[in-house]
Chain A
């Protein structure tokens, strides 16, 4: 969901950016973070807890809580709430502590 009408502020439509989320091509807008784009698309599960692997969603949105760590362009443990969305980014849901060998 995105706010389109507001009594005071104006939200001008920005450039559409295409990216990949778990293999599917999806869209966000210029100025989005990875997490805000996913949130607008209704994606609720971003990462999983370390011990019990329970789903974790959008939470602090300022890079502190580590609930939004995902694999971005092959790199694990990226804080997607403070990572700017770029055209053609490849974003994957992370289910473990992060494998840095897959990144290299």
Chain B
């Protein structure tokens, strides 16, 4: 088999890149995944769409992605509802430091056209009536943030890309990428050998391992982040409620279930995605403290998925100077799902040598060559 471009990974990033390239007229695009569509981090994510970030890059990526999601159903010609529910994110502050930091974040967000605002605890309770005011010092709210169904929007991208001629292979592990004279020549999988000189690394939790195949050391690592989902009830909560100091995000999805997650500071690096009783215990305590009535609900199931963390908690969307033809979309640090439309657009522009919609200097892998790269994203759970 021959291909113009091989994309490793059929999560939201991989399918968004495939779709954007195909839309720009690129033929013979092949996507491999050793699992199935959205079988990795995409299908395991918290399904939140947030524009309230602490760094300029993340704000712009999120805002432009939201603009895409608002019309994605028509743009991608998807026959079903992708369940984009814009009822906001309520970012809860519980310390003085957070009050100050979040107010600064809102100034940055507003300067970039993101309609976030600072709220008093009482105003926050007006939006989420069951919020425990004893621990809230202030909050910020952006009404155009919200929820999106990861399975459906990935399926929408996939079907649109397929209609444009992209070929997808599942349960097909990329085993080797052969490089000769600093040029990619071939991709070897379980059942195929594909002659190509362009490879996109959109392998999510396995991005570092794909980089290792071609001798490119990507400064990312993977870490298990756990989530649980409750039984459904009638709607009581519009926005996602998130707190960095309390280490929680929790939203009620359109079906009525609550999805919630938190990170574990003692989680070892690696590719384990097991569920733990420890998470269940800590998660239950946290959610009951911040949103007490949720404690009455039964937990239906829990699962884990991989964050792929970069040193500054911002994505790597770039080419690689040491190996022309090798492209990166990784290190999303837990937010690859909500940035995917921009990932797809920017990487397609980089690959085709077009002028990029945004300045991508700060998304380039080379920013880590200076140990004092400037922005670090603190707004991460």
Asked if residues B234 and A96 are in contact (CB atoms below 8 Å), the reply is yes
Q: Give the contacting residue for B296; candidates A50, A96, A97, A103; CB below 8 A.
A: A103
Interface residues of A in 51-104 (CB under 8 A from B): 75-77, 96-101, 103-104
| Contacting residues, chain A, for B296 (C-beta < 8 A) | 75, 100, 103
Residue of chain A at shortest CB distance from B231: A77
Interface residues of B in 116-171 (CB under 8 A from A): 129
Assembled-state Cα–Cα distance A101/B231 (Å): 16
Residue of chain A at shortest CB distance from B296: A100
| Contacting residues, chain A, for B236 (C-beta < 8 A) | 99-101
| Contacting residues, chain A, for B231 (C-beta < 8 A) | 77
Total A residues in contact with B, Cβ cutoff 8 Å: 12
| Contacting residues, chain B, for A96 (C-beta < 8 A) | 234
Confirm or deny: B311 has a beta carbon within 8 angstroms of a beta carbon on chain A: no
Residue of chain B at shortest CB distance from A103: B296
| Contacting residues, chain A, for B297 (C-beta < 8 A) | 100
Interface residues of B in 199-231 (CB under 8 A from A): 231
User: In angstroms, how far is the closest chain B Cβ from the Cβ of A59?
Assistant: 17
Confirm or deny: B115 has a beta carbon within 8 angstroms of a beta carbon on chain A: no
| Contacting residues, chain A, for B233 (C-beta < 8 A) | 76-77, 97-100
Among A76, A99, A100, A104, the one with the most B-chain Cβ atoms within 10 Å of its Cβ is A100
Q: Give the contacting residue for A50; candidates B129, B232, B298; CB below 8 A.
A: B232
| Contacting residues, chain B, for A97 (C-beta < 8 A) | 232-234, 256
Interface residues of B in 164-192 (CB under 8 A from A): none
Total B residues in contact with A, Cβ cutoff 8 Å: 11
Asked if residues A100 and B293 are in contact (CB atoms below 8 Å), the reply is yes
User: In angstroms, how far is the closest chain A Cβ from the Cβ of B259?
Assistant: 15
User: In angstroms, how far is the closest chain B Cβ from the Cβ of A41?
Assistant: 27
Q: Bits for B285-303, please: 1 = Cβ < 8 Å to A, else 0.
A: 0000000010011100000
Residue of chain B at shortest CB distance from A76: B233
| Contacting residues, chain B, for A98 (C-beta < 8 A) | 233-234
| Contacting residues, chain B, for A76 (C-beta < 8 A) | 233
Assembled-state Cα–Cα distance A50/B233 (Å): 10
Q: Bits for B223-256, please: 1 = Cβ < 8 Å to A, else 0.
A: 0000000011110100000000000000000001
Assembled-state Cα–Cα distance A98/B234 (Å): 6
Assembled-state Cα–Cα distance A97/B233 (Å): 5
User: In angstroms, how far is the closest chain B Cβ from the Cβ of A85?
Assistant: 21
Assembled-state Cα–Cα distance A50/B257 (Å): 12
Asked if residues B293 and A99 are in contact (CB atoms below 8 Å), the reply is no
User: In angstroms, how far is the closest chain B Cβ from the Cβ of A67?
Assistant: 14
User: In angstroms, how far is the closest chain B Cβ from the Cβ of A66?
Assistant: 8
Assembled-state Cα–Cα distance A65/B282 (Å): 28
| Contacting residues, chain B, for A75 (C-beta < 8 A) | 296
Q: Bits for B55-85, please: 1 = Cβ < 8 Å to A, else 0.
A: 0000000000000000000000000000000
Assembled-state Cα–Cα distance A50/B254 (Å): 13
User: In angstroms, how far is the closest chain B Cβ from the Cβ of A48?
Assistant: 13
Asked if residues B293 and A104 are in contact (CB atoms below 8 Å), the reply is yes
| Contacting residues, chain B, for A103 (C-beta < 8 A) | 296
Q: List 19 A-B contacts (CB under 8 A).
A: A50-B232, A50-B256, A75-B296, A77-B231, A96-B234, A97-B232, A97-B234, A98-B233, A98-B234, A99-B234, A99-B236, A100-B236, A100-B293, A100-B296, A101-B129, A101-B236, A101-B293, A103-B296, A104-B293
Give the B-binding residues of A (Cβ under 8 A).
50, 75-77, 96-101, 103-104
Give the A-binding residues of B (Cβ under 8 A).
129, 231-234, 236, 256, 293, 296-298
